[in-house]
Amino acid sequence: MKYLVTLLLFTLTLFASEPAYLYEDKNSSVTIDYVKENADVIFKSTDDLSKGFSNSAWWLKIDIENPTDEKVDKHLIFEFQLLQKIEAYIIDGKNISTYISGRNLQKNQNNLHAGFNEIEFTMQAHSKKRVFVRIKSDHIIHLQYKLLDTKAAFEYFQNWSITTTLLFSALFFLFVYNFANLIWFKQKIYWYYIVYVFGGIISLLAANNLFTTLFNFGIDDIKFYVFGGMLFYLGLAFFLYELLRDSMPALDVKLHYMIVAIMSVLTIVAIFDSGLANKMFLYGAGLVVTVLFTCIIINALNRQHPLARYILTGWLILSFFLTFFLLSMLGIVGIEYRYFYVYGQIIEGFIFSIIITYQYRFLQVQKKQEQEEIKLAQMGELISMIAHQWRQPLSSISAIASTLTLDISMDNYKKEFFSQRLEDINRLTQHLSSTIDDFRNFFKPNKESIETSLEHVVAKSLDITQELLSNSNIEITTEFNDSINVNVYESELMQVLLNILSNAHDNFIEKKIQNPSLKISTKDNAIIICDNGGGIPEDIISKIFEPYFSTKNEKNGTGLGLYMSKLIIEEHHNGKLSVYNKNGGACFEIIVG
């Protein structure tokens, strides 16, 4: 609680500033001698110390008095840390002490504290001093300053340290939390969110002048700041796209990628060309992009995306702070911006992290439902296969029984003949029992992988489908080459094979293919199934693994079979399922890890 109060109090100080006397040197040519001689004429009193983008040099006049009987140390602190060059001239009678700070020139060891532009000097008892400060920057200009004694300055920097540490800790927590989720769940949406948070961390470091202070890369902090902003927007753009893509119409998708392209180009230009117009255009574009993102999310809400209202809540919080930040950077709002967008990012970050976790659980439930749905559909297909498998043996048993009954009624009893026929019945019933075992094993919830050969899995799958395929006069050719034992979930791999074989059978029937044939080959850790069913049209071949996409009519197809097959191979077997057309047919290639 103590640290939160510190954070609040320090934030409130950002809205307060000392009244000041200000002079604008539009040509940036005025010298200290001219300013000193004409100070009483050229300086005007003002409370407006936010000057936006400006090519002018700005002069401050600060009169300081020490009415006490003791000498005191004073600290003149400029809070906006992206001011590139500050020249301070302290007038003490006829003496002038000069201080120069800024990232482009070497800093005096007495005028830099924790990344701030700080000027420290001593006031003798009952003395007065006049300070002239010249500030020139090709970035946004905020001239807010504080004049503090040593104790107050120590408390100020202590509060700054606590505030910055809290903000970095919150961003770092979001970074680590989402990185852990990336490792655990392996969802690319976490990559985008990590980039987004990392961009915020870089911008916060640069906004506090810490790249120059701590790391001394020799690169302007402003360039790090703009680069962090680029990562911030790009990560956010791809994160929102990944989160909302199921409900984004084509226009929103095109608009989304246009936003990414514009922000990337503008950021690159701003990094390599520090002109004011480029930065004004960059921040102006950021404001427009913020509005466009809001429109896209509202559109998703109108399309009843299940997470849209939660996303909109988090985004409105972020965009509120982000809008003030951008208006401040454009000089439209006279607020020292430094932590504004970070507050929004942290609040939004916790909301979005909850949303991502919820989305993952939602997807897991949805996937489980899809698995149950495809299992039921497969069960229906397998029951049909059982009927095909049992029809001929049952007919044979019935015929044998009729023959034996007829022989008995005619007193035509021959022991050897009866014995042979009873063996035939026993053989056929064993075949029926074996068929039941095959189907029972298929539906057994076996979650342990076993080491087996792909030929064995193919053979067991063909045992189940053989009657169905042979009754449709489908020729089956197998070619097993150098297959090695692999660890697989046997029933799941059989499910994939049965789905592909069943689809091939349906395709042959639907297209009335003459002389239909299937070739199944294995090599190493791959199974290839090719047919001569005319192939898959090129305009849909890239879609056949999408959920609920089916070339069958609504009564015969769920559109989940190949989708689930791909998930089984990629997620459970660390492999790959692909399809291509070859020699007037389609080939499915299964590679298991």
Selection from 17, 19, 141, 153 nearest residue 85 by Cα: 141
Is-contact 318 369, C-beta < 8 A? no
The Cβ of residue 473 has, within 10 Å, a number of other Cβ atoms equal to 11
Tokens of 126: 């009952």
Domain 450-457+472-593: CATH class, spelled out = alpha beta
* Ordered alpha helix ranges (H), 533-581: 561-567
Tokens of 163: 């505030």
Q: Which pLDDT belongs to residue 114?
A: 42
Determine the Cα–Cα distance for residues 509 and 565; give it in Å rounded to an integer.
22
pLDDT band at residue 8 using 50, 70 and 90 as cut-offs: very low
Percent of the chain with pLDDT over 90: 14
- pLDDT over 60 (residue 278): no
Q: Which pLDDT belongs to residue 260?
A: 75
Q: Which pLDDT belongs to residue 5?
A: 45
Question: Under 8 Å CB-to-CB from 324, ≥6 apart: which residues?
Answer: 333, 335, 337, 340
pLDDT band at residue 9 using 50, 70 and 90 as cut-offs: very low
The most confident of the ranges 6-15, 324-333, 404-413, 568-577 is 568-577
* Segment among 63-67, 156-160, 369-373 with least mean pLDDT: 369-373
Q: Which pLDDT belongs to residue 496?
A: 86
Cα separation values, 449 from 437, 445, 489, 491, 492, Å? 19, 12, 5, 10, 10
Determine the Cα–Cα distance for residues 523 and 528; give it in Å rounded to an integer.
9
DSSP string covering 251-263, please?
Answer: HHHHHHHHHHHHH
Q: Which pLDDT belongs to residue 23?
A: 95
* Segment among 45-59, 64-78, 106-120, 252-266 with least mean pLDDT: 106-120
Cα separation values, 466 from 85, 381, 488, 496, Å? 83, 14, 23, 16
Residue 182 host element (H or E): helix 150-185
Average pLDDT, the chain: 77
Determine the Cα–Cα distance for residues 52 and 47; give it in Å rounded to an integer.
15
- List pLDDT tens digits, range 384-394: 666 656 766 77
Selection from 119, 154, 120, 149 nearest residue 135 by Cα: 119
- pLDDT over 80 (residue 15): no
Determine the Cα–Cα distance for residues 96 and 117; give it in Å rounded to an integer.
19
Cut 0.85: pTM above it:
no
pLDDT band at residue 318 using 50, 70 and 90 as cut-offs: confident
- List pLDDT tens digits, range 525-561: 899 999 998 998 888 888 888 776 776 655 455 566 7
Q: What is the mean pLDDT of residues 364-390?
A: 68
Q: Which pLDDT belongs to residue 327?
A: 77
Q: What is the mean pLDDT of residues 362-377?
A: 71
Q: Which pLDDT belongs to residue 336?
A: 54
- pLDDT over 80 (residue 562): yes
* Cα-trace Rg, the chain: 38
Determine the Cα–Cα distance for residues 19 and 46; give it in Å rounded to an integer.
6
Determine the Cα–Cα distance for residues 35 and 57; give it in Å rounded to an integer.
12
Is-contact 227 202, C-beta < 8 A? yes
Is-contact 329 281, C-beta < 8 A? no
- pLDDT over 60 (residue 567): yes
**CA 579 to chain CA centroid, nearest Å:** 28
Question: Under 8 Å CB-to-CB from 348, ≥6 apart: which residues?
Answer: 314, 315, 317, 318
Tokens of 480: 């097993």
What CATH number matches the domain at 2-154, 2.40.30.10, 3.30.565.10, 2.60.40.2380, 1.10.1740.10?
A: 2.60.40.2380
Greatest CA span in the chain, whole angstroms? 145
Edge-to-edge order in the sheet of strand 57-66: 44-46, 20-25, 57-66, 127-136, 85-92, 95-101
* CATH fold match for the domains 2-154 and 450-457+472-593: no
Residue spans per domain, the chain: 2-154, 164-368, 450-457+472-593
By the 10 Å C-beta count (0-12 exposed, 13-18 middle, 19+ buried), 8 is classed as: exposed
- List pLDDT tens digits, range 40-91: 999 999 888 878 778 889 999 999 999 999 999 998 888 776 666 788 898 8
